[in-house]
Amino acid sequence: MSIISSSYPIIRKILFSIDAETAHNLTLFMLNKTYKYNFLRKKLHSSINLPSKIMGLNVKNPIGLAAGLDKNGECIDALGNLGFGFMEIGTVTPYAQNGNQKPRIFRLPKANAIINRLGFNNHGIEKILDNIKNNEWQKNDNLLGINIGKNFNTELKNAADDYTFCLKKAYPYADYITINISSPNTKNLRDLQNTYYLENLLTQIKETHKELVDNYNKYVPIALKISPDLINEEIEDISTLLLKYKIDGVIATNTTISRKKIETLKNHDQLGGLSGEPLHELSLNVIRRLKSLLGQEITIIGTGGIISGQQAKEKIEAGANAIQIYTGLIYKGPSIIEECFNLIKENININ
């Protein structure tokens, strides 16, 4: 166990004593500082090795960092040293935006959960690409995904313009690109999951993607990130389009607007997306449904509510080819990566 993992209960107590967003920013700042001054230069978890494939790409292990923790790609190398097999930055929009009014992150410690209504706050695609151009993570043959979205003031009818703009910008630098249409914190964004909007979006994404493949002579996979609040018919419709347009992966799932299991807890009534342990079963159900509809055709990345290795194992058993964590890292610290790895390695044959 690393020094960070063993001391995390103390670190968490300090972080949880201050505002959640301030704690988030402080954590990234300190990780970067410790990495810069060589405290994290040696791999903390070099033993986490379980070669796998996601969307046709090789990864050292199937445990990824979900988008949202490092929105602006400012902490890639330091986070990479924690033991992840792949990482995803963003969500990134064409132009910088501040997101929703603060406070906008709320902890629910009794439920190992968080509610956020950040609203795609980020520095914009151009600035973020400057941040990631010289990262060591990718130079060492590790995968970096870029999660893209639309600006808050872009109308749904023009949403595809924002996504294709980001796709073109990110393509030379990303190992895969995720189309985020499922955050509950950008007004009407989830309407893009409806068949009418989604078919139009995927048509333009695939046309642009084909041009980029030809221009750069390389294939960068595309994934779609979906909501846990979809009904079965909606999952079926989305799956049909994923197959029709030969999308490479689906990330299941984003945060939920449901408040089941937390109705009595402080902050349960805050607006925003709920992540953490209460999300696990919702996400699991979507993964099972996707697996039954997609089979082996499309990579499924399971995320949402992984607070323990057992939950990671359940995601894989439900049909996920890989997992991503975020809120679990906040509550458990870096030890959750090795915990997930051990249960997956012992119980699941990934390939």
Q: What is the CATH classification number for the domain harbouring 339?
A: 3.20.20.70
Number of domains within the chain: 1
Chain centroid, CA 221 distance in Å:
15
Reply yes or no on whether the pLDDT at 345 is more than 90.
Answer: no
State the pLDDT at residue 39. 61
256 is in an annotated binding site: no
Report d(CA 327, CA 12) in Å as an integer. Answer: 13
276 labeled binding residue: yes
How does pLDDT run across 140-188, given as a tens digit for each residue? 999 999 999 999 999 999 999 999 999 999 999 999 999 999 999 999 9
* Domain range for 173: 3-347
pLDDT tens digit sequence for 30-53: 999 988 876 655 555 556 889 999
Give residue 351's pLDDT.
40
Instruction: Give the residue numbers marked as catalytic.
Output: 183
**Residues of the chain above pLDDT 70, percent:** 95
Paired tokens of 129: 């690409």
How distant, in Å, are the alpha carbons of 61, 113, 195, 249 from that of 334?
15, 17, 39, 26
Q: Is the C-alpha dihedral spanning 237, 230, 324, 307 positive or negative?
A: negative
Give percent above pLDDT 90 in the chain.
Answer: 91
Q: Does the predicted model carry a pTM greater than 0.75? A: yes
| 201 among annotated binding-site residues | no
**What is the structure's pLDDT at 348?**
62
Question: Which residue has tokens 């051990």?
Answer: 342
Q: 186-226, pLDDT tens digit by residue?
A: 999 999 999 999 999 999 999 999 999 999 999 999 999 99
Residue 39 buriedness (CB in 10 A; 0-12 / 13-18 / 19+) = middle
129 CB neighbour count, 10 Å cutoff: 18
67 is known to lie in a ligand binding site? yes
